[in-house]
Structure 1
């Protein structure tokens, strides 16, 4: 089970796979066209759906930026067209997928949802384009969808029969030496910051802030994730143990609310809305069009430690888990370290850690006691010999530097004319277009690292691996982070349990891409259901030592039964109040998003 390998052979940062289901392979995402009631949104063919003349008028108002998205895979029947052939060739290129308004970075989740294009899409280039789309949807009772990076595992950036607000072209980035939020003069100290358009990806933010300007902005690990979606969902990155969450680093946002107004949200202006978009989930409270995030001084080095250790028996594996847990508690639960250890079901421990602010020699000294213990015990061997690597922090996302010094760790967008900085970590390629089979997450409290509690955690981790593998993502919990970063994250809508969590446990699985119309049989549904069952058994076993654990909304179970508590905990009532104030009629709908309990699963009718 791997999800993401950041540096492999020179820099490594594997991440656990994702996985789960899709409507075409289980449940249907849409109901039959039927009677429209006062509480329904309209679909094509129903009374109230805009006429051709009304769509044409909207298109003129938008200067031609109104599209009818069509999947390139609809051209794959019979003799495949050139468009189909090119789409199949680019199926593992996330930049190609992101550039297509009909596609999403995950193609579905077995028994849950399937990626299907919207009926119409506004390819927004300005805030006024977003205002026009919101007003049109409100006037005609349309289902709205918002997509920037399109990375939602839950399928929230796609919906058939909808109007899509596609923000990818809103990708301007501007650096500030001394930014003060609107209305905050005299109440907020000027600070270095970066303003980023809603459709920008982290690859471009890192290029502008770190590679070009030598600063740091807290963002995500996967380079093609959209900036706006990550911030609104909480926003953990590889170095969150030092720099907190992306949402906590938000200074100000511009957004369009359900009434078509353009609002500024910050600590001084519309502070309730500002709090709500900091971890309350994207697409529920309005359409974010621009974000301004604080930037920080860059450390001298970033680095990685990676490897894999195989235990000769189940008993030895349990001892290895015990040693790894105690080592993490003693040496790694601090601001220097992030990313994960993956406890696989085949008695292998995979190490995929990153560090900041340490030299290579410093990092080697930290790991020496643990690796010496492994080497001294004949029950263990290396499935992948551990390596410690470091590089100047300014070059961590520097595509030209990586091309020269570590070409195997990146995969470029090889299309003609693609920006040179548009690369992905090679270990992320497996996620592109994936169909998820099962996925669960849960925050583990720092109390489990106490001496008297570690054995309970070890037993639960070992029992979990008898069903499926599990990764502990240490950077996705703020136990061990600086007090100031914990305090900043406390003032967000993200589930409060992350404040004292030492890690987010994630288990999941994915299979090959399959968009409707692609040739081939599609996902193996029986296999997917078996893996989903094993994933559930693994996480249910683990969370016996963390009852009531929250789940990270961006990386969570599609079938989460108590999603309000699981995703937001005690913050949910306040979030719901913000929703009712700024979107009282529920124009914005995201399944399992704030206020969605008042709607059907597909968001077309009142529950």
Structure 2
């Protein structure tokens, strides 16, 4: 990273209607003063691949450096390395200006390919500046600067961000990635609650902690803290603030369900503790209302569970054998409700095709009996299928063997669209048949598809969060995705976004009154307020206006969104209707 030093220019991009100031119009003395206010921790946003480029666009800092380039090339798709950097995003389209095709990317399939490095390295959508936060006053300084100078402010953590919420051209980022530390309190009582409050098994961690840190900590302390699909995700960031699902969510609930307390700095400048006993409206909103919207989380305390064994399964299906796929998906849709009742969570991969399952509440004998029909189907009624079932001694050993066997894409562009599939679909024979057929066909419509059997059905409905009620009425979160490389242009991207939205339409039609998971949704999700939050949206908007009256925090399709014509969104592909 490069700290503030001298004057600079930003990339000149076309201007849409906006009241925000251009970064270039803010005097150098103001940046110098901000740098002093935050203890010299104002950093420049430098594209990750910058050391590999001889030519750069206006406003790009850094220099060409062969040794540094070699490091970038070696780690270009390394998730833990990427999430530790300020100027990186796990899915690289959010480092670029998609509407103008300005970027600074390598070939993720061959990072030493010289062709992309012969181009111009542009700033794209990487924030021009960021505050490397270590204390609450740093966040307050960022908000005050934003309000005074009109520069858009964003919240940046690990860069796991499918919708571009944590970046944008000409923005100032509040970067919380270096707030570390993990502590365990087996008798945690939320701050300000009566001493008579029933204590809970709590683990408190800084905003910059990633699940890799937390899973290791939990194992060392004989705990289970369920994670999502990638250990480089930040468990205090947008993941729990938007909901947060994982293989064990059916039993242990969404990440939002497990939050016990948050330490927050709001755009009003308040440094608050939010829990069930104080600032309860903010506590409700920030457990499901979305990250980068209501305030900046510095620390979070989550419910932890005792260490547990995991009944683990992984099976694959040979898609070249006629009828295999439809037979497999018919079986899964017919048995989904029973599996949810028995405490199974699973990732169902139409594009693999195959399935990974986990269960922490059945005994090994019960788990084998439960899985016997599925094993029989794959091993005795389907040619070319595989089956593996083990009893893992704890969550840490289970996670790399089963969850990350099909890795989350890192270091290249990927966009998603999703739909929550309600229980009612699985209760209807005709709708189950429609779903199985749609699952069989989806691999031809979208390059990547996963049905996450992780809705908190067994855990039960938790009305104390702002997560969409559709989550608690569903069994599956169905997601489709597409990917592309450095050489895709604006026309290609427009087609990809459009096609992906079309690919999810059969599931929207099958579940028209359900919703989508806001963290993994279509960038151009129709009726997004209803889709992401349902009946919770009006209350969320009221809380947004209370804690962020000047709307300093704004992000694409977030609560209180100012709309696509704000200048910070000029790098999005502008599709008709948006």
Tell me the TM-score range normalised by the shorter chain: 0.7 to 0.9
Indicate the residue corresponding to 2:369 in structure 1. Answer: 365
CA distance in 2 between partners of 1:535 and 1:160 (Å) = 25
Equivalence for 1:457: 435
Q: Which position in structure 2 is the counterpart of 1:415?
A: none
Q: TM-score, normalised by structure 2?
A: 0.84
Of residues 333, 338, 342, the one that matches 1:325 is 333
- 1:466-505 map, 5 Å: 466-468=444-446, 470-475=449-454, 477-479=455-457, 481-482=458-459, 486-488=460-462, 490-505=463-478
Structural mapping, 1:396-411, within 5 Å: 396=397
For the 8 Å contact 1:435–1:523, the answer to whether it is kept is no
Q: Deviations over 1:232-261 (max 9, x none)?
A: 111112101110011111111111111212
Q: How far apart, CA to CA, are the structure 2 residues paired with 1:128 and 1:351?
A: 47
Question: TM-score normalised to the size of structure 1?
Answer: 0.80
In structure 2, which of residues 250, 256, 264 is the aligned counterpart of residue 255 of structure 1? 264
| Counterpart residue number, 1:88 | 73
Conservation of the 8 A alpha-carbon contact between 1:68 and 1:120: yes
In the other structure, the counterpart of 2:14 is 32
Q: 1:366 to 1:507 in 2, by over 3 A?
A: same
Following superposition, the deviation at residue 465 of structure 1 comes to 4.4
SS at match of 2:140: helix
Q: Contact 2:379–2:387 (CA<8 Å) still a contact in 1?
A: no
Structure 1 residue ranges without an equivalent (≥5): 1-28, 410-423, 515-521
Alignment correspondent of 1:214: 222
- 1:580-599 residue pairs with structure 2 within 5 A? 580-597=545-562
Q: Is 1:136–2:121 an aligned residue pair?
A: no
Q: Pairwise mapping of residues 161-310 of structure 1 onto structure 2 (< 5 A)?
A: 161-186=170-195, 188-208=197-217, 210-228=218-236, 229-299=238-308, 301-310=309-318
- Residues 389/579 of structure 1: CA separation in 2 closer, same or farther (3 Å cut): same
How much does 1:441 deviate?
A: 0.5
- 1:52-131 maps to which residues of 2 (within 5 A)? 52-78=28-54, 81-108=66-93, 116-131=125-140
2:5 aligned partner: none
Assess, with a 3 A threshold, how the Cα gap between structure 1 residues 64 and 350 changes in structure 2: closer, same or farther: same
Q: Give 1:327-346 correspondences, 5 Å limit.
A: 327-330=335-338, 332-334=339-341, 336-344=343-351
Between the aligned partners of 1:305 and 1:470, the Cα distance in structure 2 is: 19
Distance 1:427 1:461 in 2: 18
- What residue number does 1:573 align with? 538
Matched, 1:551 2:536: no
Query: SS of the residue aligned with 2:325?
Result: helix
Q: Closer, same or farther in 2 for the Cα pair 1:220/1:604, shift >3 Å?
A: closer
Q: Identify if the C-alpha distance between structure 1 residues 205 and 395 changes in structure 2 by more than 3 Å, giving closer, same or farther.
A: closer
Give the Cα–Cα distance (whole angstroms) in 1 for the partners of residues 12 and 453 of structure 2: 38
Contact 2:250 2:345 in 1 (8 A): yes
CA separation in 2, counterparts of 1:151 and 1:373? 37
Match of 2:505? 540
Determine if contact 2:265/2:297 at 8 Å carries over to the other structure.
Answer: yes
Given candidates 410, 415, 431, the residue that maps to 1:432 is 410
Cα separation, 2, equivalents of 1:565 and 1:34: 27
Q: Distance in 1 between matches of 2:397 and 2:380?
A: 34
Question: Could you tell me which residue of structure 2 aligns to residue 351 of structure 1?
Answer: 355
Q: For the Cα contact (< 8 Å) 1:440–1:508, is it kept in 2?
A: yes
| Structure 2 CA distance for partners of 1:308 and 1:534, relative to 1, 3 Å | farther
Structure 2, unmatched stretches of 5+, are 1-10, 55-63, 104-123, 571-577
Distance 2:251 2:557 in 1: 30
- The equivalent of 1:508 in structure 2 is 481
Structure 1 residues 200 and 472: CA distance shift in structure 2, 3 A: same
Aligned to 1:523: 488
Distance, in Å, in 1 between the alignment partners of 2:51 and 2:444 is 44
How far off is 1:527 after superposition? 6.3
Number of residues paired by the alignment? 525
Greater CA drift, 182-191 or 74-83: 74-83
Cα pair 1:266 1:274 within 8 Å, conserved: yes
Q: How big is each residue's C-alpha offset from its partner over 1:307-326, in whole Å with a ceiling of 9 and x where there is no partner?
A: 21125665553233212322
Q: Give distance in 2, aligned partners of 1:69 and 1:551.
A: 32
Q: Distance in 2 between matches of 1:598 and 1:559?
A: 12
Deviation at 1:541, TM superposition (A): 1.7
Tell me how far 1:460 sits from its aligned partner: 3.5
Higher relative contact order (CA 8 A, sep 6+): 1
Q: 1:339 to 1:376 in 2, by over 3 A?
A: closer
2:422 pairs with one of 445, 448, 463: 445
Cα pair 1:203 1:397 within 8 Å, conserved: no
- Output the CA distance in 1 between the equivalents of 2:405 and 2:315: 16
Q: Deviations over 1:502-561 (max 9, x none)?
A: 11111112234x4xxxxxxx2376766665555334321233221132000111101113
Report if aligned partners of 2:229, 2:404 keep a CA contact under 8 Å in 1: no
1:147 counterpart = 2:156 = yes
Residues of 2 paired with 1:560 and 1:337: CA distance? 30
CA contact (8 A) 1:473 1:504 kept: yes
Distance 1:137 1:336, change over 3 A: same
